[in-house]
Structure 1
């Protein structure tokens, strides 16, 4: 009985031909998600087929499933540089993981804001004056300048 209980704790997924193994607890971090409904809730399953090894068959791109599963494991969004955030967003929406959808949209928005602003540019002014003139000169300059004595 203990072996059966331990075996039922683990779930095998076949995502687009790539196998992933995780715990039911991890897959149910988001109770309304497709993955939770697939393997964790009592009652009728979603009608998902299983392959010959007993793994749930999911016809999705396995490339983007890794970040989804890792998010459910530890709650952090980690996307390799070669993966498109939009692809992770698409999968998060498919799996109905609302908190991850929000997080990825936020990251995409932040990246768009960062690139639209362009690189940070610095403008330097060299001032030469007597010490008693310094206060007058600084007060006439516009706000936002930072001063450095060289």
Structure 2
């Protein structure tokens, strides 16, 4: 398509004043994400005065979005909720699913009476009489 924007292989980013550098392939890794759409060439991407592609979003947790896109690395638990919100904004479903499960599991393990597989525990402690 003649109107499609061409992007370099190395992409400089400005996310709410935080600067990052990554590859076009990394940003397009999950084709249904907002980042893949932004760098698909179908839309005109906004650039700042230095030529970095600008995303008008708080950039504190964006490094964790990039780390997941690069190597599926999850963030530390303490910031899982915040990174989950960013994954939701960027539409990165696999990260949302993994963080959601991680947050759910850690929350439930803090409940003293919770046992994810109670049937197994009962079976292991049950004494059979012959």
Q: TM-score, normalising length from structure 1?
A: 0.67
The structure 2 residue matched to 1:80, chosen from 73, 76, 82, is: 76
CA distance in 2, matches of 1:115, 1:88: 21
Size of the alignment, in residue pairs? 114
For 1:60, the equivalent position in structure 2 comes to 57
Dislocated runs of 4+, deviation >4 Å: none
Match of 1:130 in 2: none
Aligned to 1:14: 14
Counterpart of 2:33 in structure 1 is 33
* Partners of 2:55 and 2:112 in 1: CA distance: 40
Structure 2 residue runs of 5 or longer lacking an equivalent are 1-6, 114-123
Give the superposition deviation at 1:76.
Answer: 2.4
If the length of structure 2 is used for normalisation, what is the TM-score?
Answer: 0.76
> Residues 29-59 of structure 1: CA distance to partner in whole angstroms, max 9, x if unpaired?
10111111112x13233xx421011111112
Whichever of the two has the greater Rg, that structure is 1
Mapped partners of 2:15, 2:43: distance in 1: 21
